[in-house]
Amino acid sequence: MPDTPGRSPLLADRAFLAVTALTVLDVAAFLLQERIGRLWPAPVNWLLMIAVIVPTLVLCRRVRTDPASAPVVRRYWRRVQAGISLFVGVAALRILFESGAGGWLLPASVVLHLVGGLVLTWPLVGLPLSARGRARRLGVWLDLGTLSSAAGLLIWHFAASAQFADGRVTPERVLSAAVIMGAGLNGVYLAARVVLAGVDSFARRGLYWIGASALIGGLGSAISFLDPRQPDGNPLLVVLPLAAYAAAVGARMQVVDTAAGARPRRAARGYSLMPYVAIAAVDGMVVYHNVRGTGDGLLIDGVAVTLTALVVIRQLTAFRQNDALRGRLSYEASHDMLTGLANRAHFGRRVEAAVNGADPDQPVSIVLVDLDDFKIVNDRLGHATGDALLVHVAERIRAGVRSTDTVARLGGDEFAILFEGSTAPDVDQVLTRIAAALLEPAVIDGEPMTVRASFGVVDGRGGDDAGELLRQADIAMYEAKERGEGGYERYRPGMEARGAERSRRAAALHTAILSDQLVTFFQPVVTLPDGRIKGAEALVRWQHPDDGLLGPGDFIDTAEQTGLIVPLGTWVLRAATREAATWPGELTVSVNVSARQLRETGFPAVVAAALRDSGLPPHRLTVEITESVAVGGGATNDNLQGLRDLGVRLSLDDFGTGASTLTLLATCPVHQIKLDRSFAPGGGSDAIADAVAQMARAFGLEAVAEGVETTEQAARLAQLGYEHAQGFHFARPMSAADLRGRLAEATTTT
């Protein structure tokens, strides 16, 4: 009958009720017949066993076809169902034998019984142990050995030794005792194996019942085969139904727990009860022997000694495990798990030990290291690549120092180095070497990368305050970072004051951005030679509440050093596009963009949002970048291409002062180059201005000259082929209102 979602659970419930009722009936009938004699012909007893097995098979089928069960669970119950099915054949052969069909049917049923037992044993042996690690597995095997020794003693005393009750030893009796011992120990082993199984997919309660089924079926079958009343008084008639019922309960528990969702497994104890149960059992045997005076006292004593030895070995193994665990916990508490370096707490302790235990003349240097622009790596390439980069940095730093120096990761992208006994020049050499090593290209998760780092150094001596040295190293590190060039900075007295002033300026600038204290000025860009306005370059000013109107030289450095250049640049971009959208015709606006902005993930989207909100067409916006920005690679190149895809024009500003190469012009997707003001024609040679104009023509780019201050310069630039220019000769930077007035005058004149 095919399973259906609506019918299978109900069918399983009915099958479980049926197997419970039939098992009770079977056990009651067996006990009653043992007392008063047969109630019905012998084949009826075997038919009753089949009646118990059939609903058990239904429950097994329910588990193996349950889509909610894990594949390993379904495979296990498929094998169990196959094994239990063989016992239907065993009962059928017994029925035929009891009906007089032939004497060969009895040994045939025994062979089929053994095959069924092997089929049922195999999936239990395949269950993995929950213990992980060699030491833990050794402990489990010691526990199994302890339990098996105690179980062997009990099975021998209460079952196997009965074969030699009259003192006679024959091959047949030895074989019988061996069968009892083997089957019993196998049942105990399988039951223990189930208890120790580490398969989360199985319901824990179901596994316990599976173990009970193995113990009842294995030990009970062995005793039943050797019962002298075979085949008339057969314990198999009660052993096999009870084993089947235990399997049925296990299947039912699996169904119920799977339907209820994953049940959390019980937390593993730090100890095992098995050896103590075994010792308690053997101690009971010792007491029993002393009271009753049994004849196997030597065996009992031998097993007791063996168990004691096994438990001692088990405890020694546990002690080793505890020592290893303590060592691992100590390591994890003092080391960074990603890089394997010392962590912040451990580094602090090493610094304390270095300054407190050193001679006053012993030099101690602390270096704090911070990676520049590490956040961009995480944002663009993901945290996995960022972690791989941190591991790479840790390896480069560790390779650059002595084995006696301490390297730590304090958290995030911040590292630290403790030098003991090194002079300041020695430390400088090491840091120069590490900085150069970090700048060497390395492939991280398929991405070629270089790392620039800022180092803050403080030199101390034995007896100095460790906390104060760390604070001073931190101040020096931020001083190095604010230079924006990487490298190292050594702490000097007075740095705190400069740092406080920078913090004050940064806070004021942040307030200015949020409270609209910034003002946009514009310097017209004109055509040559007629001087007609074709657009303007946006320039930012700060209308400071106390200091009045400040030029960019008063705050741009602070913005660059603190990262405020990103929100500042966004503010200028949005203000410039809003203003340019009000200009007549096709007048363009140019906006300067910093290297930090171009390394930001999603910068083209920021520009697109500004254009959309202002209504300015993309071709009327020119983004100006410097040559050093253009060679940034990575996210910079991606963002430049993204801007070009938007339709925004790109311009190389201050051309001629940086990495001006033909390769740059061929590879950078710009539309325009702006000659730096220092190369405008004057009293000297105009060769550079001429060469730049020729390169622009060769690459099909527009050439613009900056810093034009005289009529003669304008005329000469026009002769050289420059189409546009800007400078004080044409107009100084002016407010948006003044530019609108100028444009209105130009329109009226035209």
Whether the Cβ atoms of residue 514 and residue 500 lie closer than 8 Å to each other: no
Cβ neighbours around 435 below 10 Å, total:
20
Residue closest to 53 by CA, chosen among 256, 237, 257, 255: 237
Alpha-carbon span 655 to 705, nearest angstrom: 10
Per-residue model confidence (pLDDT) at position 497: 67
- Report in angstroms the alpha-carbon separations of 631 from 441, 641, 658: 15, 13, 10
pLDDT at 267: 41
Alpha carbon separation from 529 to 187, 680, 682, 686 (Å, rounded): 105, 15, 17, 18
Active-site positions?
A: 706
Q: Is the peptide bond before 363 cis (omega within 30 degrees of 0)?
A: no
| Cα–Cα dist 92/144, whole Å | 37
- 572 vs 71, which has greater pLDDT? 572
The radius of gyration of the chain's CA atoms, rounded to the nearest angstrom, is 44
What are the tens digits of pLDDT across the range 543-590? 988 889 999 888 887 888 777 889 999 999 999 999 999 999 899 999
DSSP 56-103: HHHHHHHHHT-TTS-HHHHHHHHHHHHHHHHHHHHHHHHHHHHTTS-T
Q: For residue range 633-678, list pLDDT tens digits in order.
A: 566 778 888 898 999 999 888 776 554 555 556 567 788 888 888 7
Comparison of pLDDT for 368 and 322, the residue scoring more: 368
Q: What is the pLDDT of residue 576?
A: 95
DSSP, collapsed to helix, strand or coil, labels residue 549 as strand
pLDDT at res. 157: 63
Query: What's the token pair of residue 472?
Result: 């001073």
pLDDT band at 158 (very low <50, low <70, confident <90, very high): low
Which of the listed ranges 50-64, 188-202, 301-315, 611-625 does the model predict with the highest average pLDDT? 611-625
Pairing between β-strand 414-420 and β-strand 548-550 as defined by DSSP bridges: unpaired
Confidence of residue 77 (pLDDT cuts 50, 70, 90): confident
Please check the confidence at residue 321 and state whether its pLDDT lies above 70: no
| DSSP element (H, E) containing 430 | helix 424-439
At residue 605 the predicted structure's pLDDT band, cuts being 50, 70 and 90, is very high
Q: How far is CA 282 from CA 147, 215, 288, 329, 614, in A?
A: 10, 20, 9, 38, 90
Confidence at 380, pLDDT banded by 50, 70, 90: low
- Among the ranges given (87-96, 529-538, 571-580, 633-642), the one the predictor scored with the smallest mean pLDDT: 633-642
State both tokens at 240.
């096999």
Both tokens assigned to 52? 């118990």
Pairing between β-strand 487-490 and β-strand 724-725 as defined by DSSP bridges: unpaired
Ranked by mean pLDDT, the top range of 160-164, 187-191, 592-596 is 592-596
**Mean pLDDT, residues 101-109 taken together:** 82
Give the residue-averaged pLDDT of 417-443. 89
- Asked if the model's pLDDT at residue 53 lies above 50, the reply is yes
- 397-401, 522-526, 689-693: least confidently modelled range: 689-693
pLDDT above 60: residue 133: no
Mean pLDDT is lowest, of 198-207, 301-310, 353-362, 456-465, for 301-310
- 373, burial (CB in 10 Å: exposed 0-12, middle 13-18, buried 19+): middle
Which is more confidently placed, 234 or 620? 620
What integer best gives the mean pLDDT of the chain? Answer: 79
> Please, what sign has the CA dihedral across residues 553, 559, 562, 565?
negative
Report whether pLDDT(161) > 80.
Answer: no
Residues 6 or more apart whose Cβ sits within 8 Å of residue 42: 98, 232
Q: Label the pairing between strands 588-592 and 621-626.
A: parallel
For residues 30 and 148, which has the higher predicted lDDT (pLDDT)?
30
Distance CA 492, CA 496 (A): 9
CA distance readout (Å), 19 to 47, 52, 80, 212, 248: 14, 5, 16, 16, 8
Strand 533-544 to 487-490 pairing? unpaired
For position 269, what pLDDT does the model report? 45
Question: Lowest mean pLDDT: which of 252-256, 260-264, 532-536, 566-570?
Answer: 260-264
pLDDT at 266: 46
Q: Which of 15-24, 319-328, 450-459, 483-492 has the lowest mean pLDDT?
A: 319-328
| pTM attached to this predicted model | 0.47
Three-class SS state of 701: coil
What is the percent of the chain where pLDDT is above 70? 72
CA-to-CA distance for 425 and 558, rounded, in angstroms? 31
Residue of higher predicted confidence among 647 and 480:
647
CB 195 within 8 A of CB 210: no
Q: What is residue 665's predicted lDDT score, i.e. its pLDDT?
A: 64
**Angle, alpha carbons 266-269-270 (nearest 5°):** 155
* Range in 192-201, 285-294, 602-611 the model is least confident about: 285-294
pLDDT on residue 230: 46
Q: For a pLDDT cut of 90, what percent of the chain falls above it?
A: 22
